[in-house]
C-alpha cells in the first residue's frame, strides 16, 4: 500500500511518491509526467482524461473541458454530452486517472492521496478539493498548500542555512505568492497572497485575441472549434517566445487562414494589465510578512507559467533579485508532495521536518453598522496570515437597550462588510437585558490546520459560556479523531506567557532592564518587545527558536560579556559570529512593513528594460 501526492493543476496535473530514499514522479501511459487536466466525454459516454482529451479540444470542443479548477467550490456546472458536471466531478476524473497510473507504475494499491491546493484557496474551495478526492474513491487525509510543497522540495534538495524564500507559484490558472521562512528543521509560511483567476491561460487568451485582430475577427464570435484552434496556436506562440525574441504560426480554420508573427516586445505591451495584476499579490504578501524586500534570500519560481521570459523579466524588474528554479518549475510542487508522502509513511530515510502554515483569509464576526444596520461590518479575530494552529480573542458589547441576546455570525474573508465574506456559521449568546454597552462578551477563535474552528464565548458579567465547533465536513475524520484534535486545540488556548520557560526569559530581561540605563536599556527593551510580538503570534516552533537564542544574548548581558563597547578578544569568535548573525536577524524583525514602489507600472520603462535583459537573468 502506497501513499502518493497529487499536484492537481489547472492546466496539468502530476503524481509523485517517496521511493528508495527520494521523491519520484510517476509517469502516465505515455511515459510523461505531465497529464493535461482535460476531460472529454465520448459518444458512448466513456470518460477520457489527459493528453488524448486535450486533442479533442479542437476536434470536439462541445464535449471537452479544461481550466475547470478555476471554478472549484463555486456553484457552477459544465455541460458535456448529455449531462452537467461540477468542477469537483471533473477534478475527480483527473485524480482517478493519476491514481490508476500510480497503481500500474508502482504495482501496488494506493492507501492514501495528498493533494496540493493554491495557498489562496478559501475554505469552500478546499472542501471542494477534498470532495473531488472522495468522488474519485480515494482517501484524502491532508491538503498541502502548493508553496509549502515547493519549499519542502527545495529544502530537501538544498539543505542550507536559515533563509527566507519568496515563492512565486504561477500555474495555468492560478497565482500564489508566499513568503516562507526556513530555520532549523522548520518550514514556516509567513504570508500568502494570490489570484485564483490569473495564470498562463490568460496570456493564451490575450495572444488569441491579438491573432484574431490581425484578421479583423472577433474572438468571442467565433465557433468553439475555431476558438480552440486559435487558443492552441496562441499557446504555441507563447512557448516559442520563451525561447526566441520573435515567433510565427500558421492557422488554417473555417474563418482564419494565414500566418501571424508576434515579438517579445509586443507581448509585453499586450500583457501590461496582467503584469499589474501580478504586482498586487506580490506587494500584499510582502506587506503582510515580517520581512522587507532586502531580507528575501531567494525568489523561487514554481509552475509552468513562471518559465515565460516576459514573466521572468517582470519579476526582475520588480525585485532586482536573481530568480531561482529547482529543476523543472512544472514539477517542483509534485516533488515536494513526494517528500511529504515519505514523511507521512514515517520513512526512516527522510529527515524530520516541521511544516507550519497560515490561514490565507481572516476569520471574524459581524458587528453593527449604525449607518446601515442591514449591512454589518466584518470584525476580524484571527487575521489573515496568522500561523496555524492559533487561538485569538476578541471583545464585543451589546448595542441596544434591554438586549437579551447577541447573535454572532461567523465569516471568513477580508472584505469590510460582513456579507461580502464567506459565511461559515452562527452562534447565539444570551445576555441580561441591560442598557446598551453594559453587557460584554469575550469571543475566542481557535483554528487548526484541518479547518476546525472552535468558537468559545464567555459573558463577562456572569461567566456564562457558549460554544460552537465548525468542522470541515469533508475532512473524513471519525468522532474519536475529531475529539482528539479538539483536545489538542485546548492547549492552544493557554497564553504562551504562562509557560515557565517564557516567563523566565521575560523575568530575566525585565531584571536586566531595571539594572541598566541608556542605550543598553533601550536595547534590552527592544528585545522584550520583540519577544512579546513573537509570543503574540503563537507559533510554538518560532517561540522556541527565538527564546533559545535570546537566552544566549541575555545570559551574556547578565555576565557583562556583551555591550556596545565589547572587546572581540574576550569572545570565542565562532560563538560571537553566530550570536551577532542572530541579533541582526532579530533586529530586522522590527523593520517597518516592506513598501514596494507605489507608482503604477510604466510600460515604456519596462519595455526598454526588457530589450536589455540583465546578464544574470534566469
Residue partners of 334: CB distance under 8 A and separation at least 6: 5, 6, 7, 14, 15, 16, 25, 33, 116, 149
- The CB density around residue 19, as the number of other CB atoms within 10 Å, is 15
Find out whether the peptide bond into 520 is cis, omega within 30 degrees of 0. no
Cell of 219: 474572438
What local confidence, expressed as pLDDT, does residue 429 receive? 95
- Give the percent of the chain with pLDDT over 90: 52
Gap between the Cα atoms of 355 and 189, Å rounded:
8
Q: Is the pLDDT of residue 493 over 70?
A: no
| pLDDT level of residue 479 (50, 70, 90 thresholds) | low
Q: What's the pLDDT score for residue 112?
A: 92
Kindly state the average pLDDT of the residues 434-442. 94
Which pLDDT band holds residue 607 (cuts at 50, 70, 90)?
Answer: very low
215-267 pLDDT, tens per residue? Answer: 999 999 999 889 999 999 999 999 999 888 999 999 988 788 899 999 989 99
Between 536 and 13, residue with greater pLDDT: 13
Count H helices and E strands in the chain, helices first: 16, 28
Per residue in 416-425, pLDDT (tens digit) is 999 999 899 9
C-alpha distances in Å from residue 443, one per residue of 378, 382, 392, 440: 14, 11, 8, 10
Position 537 pLDDT exceeds 90: no
pLDDT at 568 over 60: no
pLDDT of residue 358: 83
Residue 550 to residue 95: CA distance in whole angstroms: 47
CA 276 vs. chain centroid, Å, equals: 20
Region 353-376: what's the mean pLDDT?
A: 90
Q: If we measure between CA atoms, which residue out of 100, 101, 94 comes closest to residue 116?
A: 94
For the chain, percent of residues with pLDDT exceeding 70 = 85
pLDDT recorded at residue 615? 41
Which cell is 333 given? 510542487
pTM: 0.69
* Angle at CA of residue 610, ends 605 and 612, nearest 5°: 105
Rounded to an integer, the average pLDDT of 547-557 is: 84
Residue 370: strand, helix, or coil: coil
pLDDT for res 486 = 67
Q: Quick check: 423 and 409 in contact, CB under 8 A?
A: yes
Question: Among 63-67, 479-483, 523-527, which is the least confidently predicted range?
Answer: 479-483
Residue 35 has pLDDT above 80, yes or no: yes
Q: What is the pLDDT of residue 282?
A: 92
Could you tell me the CA-to-CA distances from 582 to 184, 246, 579 in Å, in that order? 13, 49, 5
**What's the confidence (pLDDT) of residue 559?**
75
Q: Pick the residue with more confidence: 146 or 101? A: 101
Q: Is the separation of the CB atoms in 418 and 366 below 8 Å?
A: yes
At 12, is the pLDDT very low, low, confident or very high (cuts 50, 70, 90)?
Answer: very high
CA atoms in the 13 A half-sphere facing the CB of 441: 29
Would you state the pLDDT for residue 472? 58
Averaged pLDDT, 472-480: 56
Average pLDDT, the chain: 84
| Whether pLDDT at 578 is above 60 | no
The pLDDT value recorded for residue 609 is: 41
| Mean pLDDT, residues 432-459 | 90
Q: 361 pLDDT exceeds 50?
A: yes
Enumerate the H helices of 34-86 as residue ranges. Answer: 51-59
pLDDT confidence of 492, banded at 50, 70, 90? low
* pLDDT given at position 355: 80
Amino acid at each position: 500500500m502506497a501513499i502518493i501526492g497529487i499536484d492537481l493543476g489547472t492546466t496539468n496535473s502530476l503524481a509523485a511518491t517517496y521511493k528508495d530514499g527520494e521523491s519520484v514522479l510517476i509517469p502516465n501511459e505515455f511515459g510523461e509526467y505531465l497529464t493535461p487536466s482535460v476531460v472529454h466525454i465520448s459518444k458512448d459516454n466513456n470518460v477520457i482524461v489527459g493528453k488524448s482529451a486535450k486533442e479533442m479540444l479542437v476536434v470536439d470542443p462541445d464535449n471537452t473541458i479544461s481550466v475547470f479548477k478555476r471554478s472549484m467550490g463555486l456553484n457552477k456546472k459544465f455541460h458535456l454530452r448529455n449531462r452537467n458536471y461540477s468542477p469537483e466531478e471533473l477534478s475527480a476524473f483527473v485524480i482517478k486517472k493519476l491514481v490508476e497510473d500510480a497503481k500500474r507504475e508502482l504495482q501496488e494499491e494506493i492507501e492514501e492521496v495528498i493533494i496540493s491546493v493554491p495557498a489562496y484557496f478559501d475554505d469552500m474551495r478546499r472542501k471542494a478539493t477534498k470532495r473531488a478526492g472522495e468522488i474519485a474513491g480515494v482517501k484524502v487525509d491532508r491538503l498541502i498548500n502548493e508553496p509549502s510543497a515547493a519549499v519542502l522540495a527545495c529544502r530537501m534538495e538544498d539543505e542550507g542555512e536559515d533563509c527566507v524564500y519568496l515563492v512565486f507559484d504561477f500555474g495555468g490558472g492560478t497565482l500564489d505568492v508566499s513568503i516562507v521562512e526556513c530555520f532549523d528543521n522548520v518550514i514556516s509560511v509567513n504570508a500568502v497572497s494570490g489570484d485564483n483567476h490569473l495564470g498562463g491561460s490568460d496570456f493564451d487568451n490575450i495572444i488569441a485575441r491579438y491573432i484574431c485582430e490581425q484578421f479583423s475577427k472577433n474572438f468571442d464570435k467565433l465557433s468553439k472549434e475555431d476558438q480552440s484552434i486559435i487558443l492552441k496556436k496562441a499557446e504555441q506562440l507563447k512557448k516559442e517566445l520563451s525561447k526566441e525574441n520573435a515567433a510565427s504560426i500558421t492557422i488554417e480554420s473555417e474563418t482564419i487562414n494565414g500566418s501571424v508573427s508576434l515579438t517579445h516586445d509586443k507581448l509585453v505591451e499586450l500583457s501590461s494589465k496582467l503584469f499589474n495584476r501580478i504586482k498586487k499579490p506580490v506587494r500584499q504578501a510582502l506587506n503582510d510578512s515580517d520581512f522587507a524586500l532586502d531580507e528575501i534570500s531567494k525568489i523561487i519560481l514554481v509552475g509552468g507559467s513562471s518559465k515565460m521570459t516576459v514573466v521572468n523579466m517582470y519579476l526582475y524588474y520588480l525585485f532586482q533579485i536573481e530568480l531561482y528554479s529547482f529543476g523543472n518549475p512544472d514539477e517542483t510542487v509534485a516533488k515536494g508532495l513526494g517528500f511529504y508522502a515519505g514523511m507521512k509513511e514515517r520513512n526512516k530515510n527522510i529527515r524530520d521536518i516541521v511544516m507550519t502554515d497560515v490561514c490565507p483569509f481572516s476569520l471574524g464576526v459581524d458587528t453593527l453598522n449604525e449607518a446601515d444596520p442591514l449591512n454589518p461590518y466584518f470584525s476580524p479575530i484571527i487575521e489573515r496570515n496568522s500561523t496555524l494552529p492559533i487561538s485569538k480573542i476578541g471583545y464585543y458589547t451589546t448595542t441596544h437597550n434591554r438586549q437579551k441576546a447577541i447573535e454572532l455570525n461567523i465569516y471568513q474573508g477580508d472584505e469590510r462588510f460582513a456579507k461580502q465574506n464567506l459565511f461559515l456559521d452562527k452562534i447565539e449568546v444570551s445576555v441580561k437585558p441591560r442598557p446598551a454597552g453594559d453587557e460584554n462578551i469575550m469571543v475566542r477563535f481557535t483554528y487548526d490546520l484541518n479547518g476546525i474552528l472552535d468558537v468559545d464565548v464567555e459573558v463577562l458579567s456572569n461567566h456564562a459560556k457558549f460554544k460552537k465547533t465548525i468542522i470541515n465536513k469533508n475532512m473524513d475524520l471519525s468522532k474519536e479523531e475529531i475529539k482528539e484534535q479538539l483536545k489538542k486545540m485546548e492547549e492552544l488556548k493557554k497564553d504562551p506567557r504562562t509557560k515557565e520557560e517564557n516567563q523566565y526569559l521575560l523575568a530575566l530581561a525585565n531584571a536586566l532592564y531595571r539594572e541598566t540605563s541608556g542605550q543598553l536599556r533601550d536595547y534590552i527593551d527592544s528585545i522584550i518587545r520583540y519577544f512579546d510580538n513573537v509570543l503574540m503570534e503563537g507559533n510554538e516552533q518560532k517561540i522556541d527558536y527565538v527564546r533559545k537564542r535570546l537566552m544566549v544574548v541575555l545570559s551574556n548581558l547578565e555576565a557583562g560579556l556583551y555591550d556596545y563597547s565589547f572587546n572581540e578578544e574576550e569572545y570565542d569568535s565562532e560563538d560571537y559570529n553566530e550570536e551577532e548573525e542572530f541579533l541582526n536577524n532579530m533586529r530586522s524583525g522590527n523593520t517597518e512593513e516592506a513598501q514596494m514602489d507605489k507608482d503604477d507600472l510604466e510600460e515604456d520603462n519596462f519595455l526598454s528594460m526588457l530589450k536589455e535583459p540583465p546578464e544574470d537573468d534566469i
